[in-house]
Amino acid sequence: MEISGYKFEPVETHSLVVELTKRLLDYIFSGNVRPGDKIPAERQLSEALGVGRSAIREAIKALTVLGILEVRQGNGTYVKNTSSSLLIQSIEWGLLLGEKNTMDLVETRMLLEVSIARLAARRWAGSELAELKEILERMKQCSLADFVDADVQFHLKLCDMAKNSVLKNMLSSIRNLLHTWIKCVIDKAGETAFSYLDHLAIYEAVAGRDPDRAAKAMQLHMDDASKRLIEALKEAEQVS
């Protein structure tokens, strides 16, 4: 079926939401819509893709929390500014494409980050601590928009300090997702003080070469960030 000059192909039922989300991404980047444009209504998409409206809602929910779409209550769903590099990683990891995948990602990131903090406290050397503090100072002073990038840099620097190539490769492979996750949490909160204090506690533990304290500080940070992410997901589901 064709809508506004773009032909949608019906999707197969296996891994429906994942496949449906990819089809919507193809549409978003087809050139038929631009940032700020309104996408077709659920009913139209349901008919065009040959799937139920509940599956359409799930896909829209995923893309909304990822920052790709914006649901304006009572006024439809619109395309936001984003980049294709973010989308590739996001879909590959299945972020927010259903509750199980979301919780799997939350659990995986938590395990990674806690291990990284513990190792960083043991292994940092030379100017690394000063470099981490510099990033922390940026987080304290920068704008809401710039905070997300500084937050990501903090976690990546901590990973460098852990000196474990496997952990570094794993965290680097989800760098774009890390950015998306942090942005989602900060956008929902509308402020950064709570996150800065979490990172300050991590920094102080790492600076004191206290692996257990660093791991605990990171665990508390991950618990809070995960809770906020899940809340954002639920809100997006209610709106859509």
198 close to 217: Cβ distance less than 8 angstroms = yes
Percent of the chain with pLDDT over 90: 39
Identity of the residue numbered 100: K
CA distances from 153 to 135, 138, 150, 174, 202 (A): 7, 10, 5, 13, 14
Q: List, as one string, the DSSP characters of 96-124.
A: TSSHHHHHHHHHHHHHHHHHHHHHHHHH-
CA distance 126 to 81: 40
CA distance 8 to 69: 18
Confidence of residue 204 (pLDDT cuts 50, 70, 90): very high
Taking 50 as the threshold, does the pLDDT of residue 198 lie above it?
Answer: yes
CA distance 106 to 122: 25
CA pseudo-torsion sign 29, 179, 126, 108: negative
pLDDT of residue 21: 78
Of the ranges 61-70, 90-99, 142-151, the best mean pLDDT one: 142-151
| Distance, first Cα to last Cα, the chain | 23
Closest to 80 (Cα-Cα) out of 119, 108, 39: 39
The DSSP letter of residue 83 is -
Q: What is the pLDDT of residues 149-177, one digit of tens each?
A: 999 999 999 999 999 988 888 887 777 67
Domains and CATH numbers, the chain: 2-88 (1.10.10.10), 98-239 (1.20.120.530)
Total-model pTM: 0.63
Q: Identify the three-state secondary structure at position 112.
A: helix
Taking 80 as the threshold, does the pLDDT of residue 148 lie above it?
Answer: yes
pLDDT of residue 121: 98
Q: What's the distance, CA 4 to chain centroid? A: 30
Residue-averaged pLDDT of the chain? 82
Confidence of residue 93 (pLDDT cuts 50, 70, 90): very low
The residues, any chain, with a CB within 8 Å of residue 96's CB and separated by 6 or more, are 61, 62, 65, 66, 102, 233
Q: What is the pLDDT of residues 58-80, one digit of tens each?
A: 888 877 766 678 888 888 899 87
